[in-house]
Amino acid sequence: MQSSIFFHLENIWKDTRAFRYLHGVIFFVMAIGMAVPFWMGATVWDLMSEAALSKYQLPEQLIVAEYQNRISEAEASDIEEQQRQKMKKESERIGISAFLSEEVQWKKWNGEPYVQGCSENFWKLNGYQVLDGAGPEKEWSGKGEPCYVCDNCDLLYRNGICPGDEIQIAGKSFTVAGILKAPKLYGSIAISYKALAALADGKEAQFQGLYRFFEPTAPEAVNGVLLEMDSVIGVLTGTEQEAVYLQSVERIAKERLTTGIAMLIFTMISLVSVNGGMLMQEQKQLAVRQAIGAKEKELFWEYALRMETLYLLACAVNVPLYPILFGSMHGMSRELPLPVVGIVGIAGSAVWLFVTGILWERMIGKQALIPILKGDV
């Protein structure tokens, strides 16, 4: 039994060396091609994660209002209470945030991303995931004012910023407390509402107010607050806001999956063409081995093992390459999620084995030995 295994492994090694250039081409095409299903899998994984975070608790009891107004440092400490007094209906909780573009510096990088100031209740009413460090729900005991970098802040997060780093926002120093996935935030960097009001007192900003009521409520309940605003952009229930966000997620998913499927089809056609060409070159050698007693089943599994080994090598190459190829894309994980590696790896292995089986059957299994040996095929 052991000698039989070594015999087959020796045959696999000989065949690999004999057709090393074609094996190299297959590996190269497969390594590039496997990046596509990994990217598609990671896209679905990330969008599912974002869709879960986009849901509100008791959305039917929540009103989401967006409006333009000037930030006032004097009103920052009790802005939620001021709005509560203007409501047409008693509210359970109010969360306020505002965002605007501010100059940000970190090491040699500088830019003007959106900075969003969020009240404590705003965080409690919104969904987010802490990717690294601490979240805003934790009491801050570090140096200076805390800030939170969102995973959509490509120029900072993708360049390796970590909790504990210091950044400058509008000339004031902040310490990065954590890295967040917060799909419903407009800002790339989040700070407290009071901190933003101190930085941008008197500036025009876009606001988002979250108003939780004790029972399902119509948007008209917040009209008393919004009448004083410079410009009301929109007022929706939490259920309607969730639907709007999920529509955007669905659109992104369709765009990426359509592109991925097209690339995958092109890759598969290329692999079938190259693989078929290699089998044509191997036909005579395989026919000779069958003529001297080798079983077709054994020859097939030697061939299949060669192809599966190339597949596994292509997968192994893609895991470290993923952050380089896709880690800088907006909204994508910086590393390939392990469940995606497992699901895509196993599914791809089964599909590739199926394809190699069909190729073998058409080019070897259904061919008669004598015509092949004579060179008629």
Low-confidence ranges of the chain (pLDDT < 50): 1-3
Q: How far apart are CA 315 and CA 321, in angstroms?
A: 10
Q: What sign does the dihedral 88-239-137-153 (CA atoms) show?
A: negative
pLDDT for position 1: 46
pLDDT for position 3: 47
Q: Encode 292-331 in three state secondary structure.
A: CCCCHHHHHHHHHHHHHHHHHHHHHHHHHHHHHHCCCCCC
- Token readout for 319 is 């895991």
22: DSSP letter: H
SS3 275: helix
Of 213, 187, 199, nearest to 61 by C-alpha is: 213
Of 92, 122, 124, nearest to 214 by C-alpha is: 92
Contact of 206 with 233, CB cutoff 8 Å: yes
pLDDT for position 193: 92
- Token readout for 79 is 């802005």
Pairing label, strands 172-181, 145-150: parallel
Neighbours of 177 (CB within 10 A): 25
pLDDT for position 297: 81
What are 314-356's pLDDT values in tens digits? 888 877 776 666 655 555 555 667 777 788 888 888 888 888 8
pLDDT for position 339: 76
- Full-prediction pTM beyond 0.85? no
Amino acid at 47: L
Burial of 1: CB neighbours in 10 Å, binned 0-12, 13-18, 19+: exposed
Contact of 62 with 56, CB cutoff 8 Å: yes
